[in-house]
């Protein structure tokens, strides 16, 4: 049983397949850079790439299913928008084009450096949470005292 699609559907399938493989390649590159450097922005980029590739793959399967393939192609483009590049740290200084293409970084951090940065970030998060809790307690006290003062004024 042979599948026969019109030219437009085949073109949409080609666009979707190309987008899928590009997203997978960029996701693999982000994973490789994250593994070498430990920068969380590359981990987030890899997570976004996995979600985007899933959306694109679903779109590819929907292209031949619906009228004209527009719904599937729209999902492919939504997947591409999900995979947009965010703010990243500079990891390439002297690397050439090919080394950048495959994700070889000039910055290589040891696991100890990565762990120390992670612990520092966690300590900063805890400090900010405590600060927020303290501010919330102070706000509740002000509200309570304000309510008591209003009750005294009414009496």
pLDDT digits (tens, 9 = 90+) for 4-36: 778 888 898 999 999 999 999 999 988 888 888
pLDDT at 152: 60
Tally the C-alpha atoms within 13 A of residue 59's C-alpha that lie toward its C-beta. Answer: 26
Burial bucket for residue 58 (CB in 10 Å: 0-12, 13-18, 19+):
middle
Residue 56 CB neighbours (<10 A): 27
Question: Does one domain contain both 95 and 127?
Answer: no
DSSP conformational letter for 67: G
Tens digit of pLDDT for each residue in 128-154?
A: 999 999 998 888 888 877 766 665 666
Residues 56 and 91 in one domain: yes
> Is the pLDDT score of 1 beyond 60?
no
**Residue 147: per-residue pLDDT:** 61
105 and 119 fall within a common domain: no
Average pLDDT, the chain: 83
**Least confidently predicted of 43-57, 69-83, 125-139, 141-155:** 141-155
Contact partners, residue 108, CB within 8 Å, separation at least 6: 36, 37
Domain range enclosing 144: 111-155
**54 and 82 fall within a common domain:** yes
Same domain, residue pair 84 and 142? no
Q: How many domains does the chain have?
A: 2
Q: Are residues 76 and 127 in the same domain?
A: no
Among 9-23, 30-44, 61-75, name the most confident range: 9-23
Distance CA 46, CA 57 (A): 16
Same domain, 82 and 149: no
Verify that 24 and 88 share a domain, yes or no.
yes
pLDDT at 15: 92
């Amino acid at each position: 049983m042979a599948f026969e699609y019109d030219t437009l559907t085949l073109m949409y399938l080609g666009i979707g397949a190309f987008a899928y493989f590009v997203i997978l390649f960029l996701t693999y590159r982000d994973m490789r850079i994250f593994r070498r450097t430990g920068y969380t922005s590359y981990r987030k980029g890899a997570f976004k790439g996995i979600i985007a590739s899933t959306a694109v793959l679903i779109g590819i399967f929907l292209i031949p299913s619906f009228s004209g393939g527009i719904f599937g192609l729209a999902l492919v483009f939504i997947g591409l928008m999900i995979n947009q590049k965010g703010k990243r740290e500079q990891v390439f200084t002297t690397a050439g084009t090919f080394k950048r293409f495959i994700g070889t970084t000039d910055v290589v951090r040891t696991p100890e450096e990565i762990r120390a940065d992670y612990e520092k970030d966690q300590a900063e998060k805890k400090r900010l949470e405590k600060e927020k809790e303290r501010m919330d307690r102070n706000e509740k006290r002000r509200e309570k005292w304000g309510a008591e003062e209003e009750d005294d004024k009414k009496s």
